[in-house]
Chain A
Amino acid sequence: MREIQEAIGLTEDELYIILFTSLDHDNLNNLIVLAGEFTKWFNLNFEGESRDEIDFRENKCEIWVATGALAQVIIDGYSVLEKNHKDILTKYWWEHNRYLKFADQVGQKLQEQPDLMPELRELFRS
């Protein structure tokens, strides 16, 4: 990657943008880069202002923000652990922590407003 960085003339931050917007969020705890997402940076034709380029840019901006939020979740979860730090690499740990905040908020909301429960059920049935 460093070789490419030098060849293209990318700064450290630009390299971070490429790498961290190509990560698989399902495996963010293992920092796995998706080959397809990574190669998009090099396969797309950026000549002129095409629809593809605009979509790609907006999509990468969203991924960048989301990756930051999820990174914070992992760091917070890690800091709570007193032992077995390797657990953060497991799928179970990541899925639990990833959706914990969302699940807590949903649970709290439904406790406050139980009448929302049938509405939500209907929503899923439809």
Chain B
Amino acid sequence: MNPNINPGKRDRLWRGVVIYLPYAWLLLFFLAPFVIVFKISFADPLLAQPPYSPLLDWTADIGSRFLATLDNYGFLLEDKLYWVSYLRSIKIAFIATVLCLLLGFPMAYAIARTPYPWRNFLLLLVILPFWTSFLLRVYAWMIMLTKQGLINSLLMKIGLINDPLQMLYTNGAVYLGIVYTYVPFMILPLYATLEKLDLDLHDAAADLGAKPWQVFCDVTIPLARPGIIAGCLLVFIPAIGEYVIPALLGGLDSLMIGRTLYDEFFVNRDWPLASAVAIVLLFILILPIMLFQQQQQEPES
């Protein structure tokens, strides 16, 4: 290094690089894009490239320089398609989160009670699907659920049904897909809290005469609360904006907001309206996201 620069300056330079290089990257490629989406959500769609009207028109006089329109947001309220999509996304994400919890909790609990060499192996089995392609795992369910697929053939072979059931392209398939792909996100934080759970507390409660389900409700669940909240948010938040699962497994009646946004952008090419859809979705998600961040910071303090 250049010996003419004094060490104090060099230390400050290094500190500046560590902090402000990633800082600048995130400002430019994470925060600035949201400002632009916000801006364009107030623009008019145009048949041009890019297909929206400028918000600031420098050629106009001062009074009319700021050209904003609330039309896009008005349209979201007027057209049933949009708020039905929002409500349906919230409903599907909520039910799928509950299903993930119902499956994930006993699994996490059982893993946390398994003796050691086995426990790591089971954890690896939970994490492994996470490393394989999400898209391909959703696709795997298409093979299972088609009319000539494995489930229908099995059900017909044992004589439970005579004609194949329509399972693919239904709401049920969307729930299945979300639970399937997101359940590891539920199991891992649950495992992290259940692993630290002191079994002496269970014994103490049982010794004092609590029934097993009372121990479960009054001791296990309250102690596992941080894991339950973290797991539910990790499933619920991304599930609301999910695009791939409803696009591949869902039917026309399982249109979720992620797909509405995608179609608005790519099919209708209405960028301002797609931006408005995104901004409203962001507002719906702000509360759970802030809850999640607060949850993440708690263990540090």
A binds B: no
Chain A positions within 8 Å of B, measured between CB atoms, are none
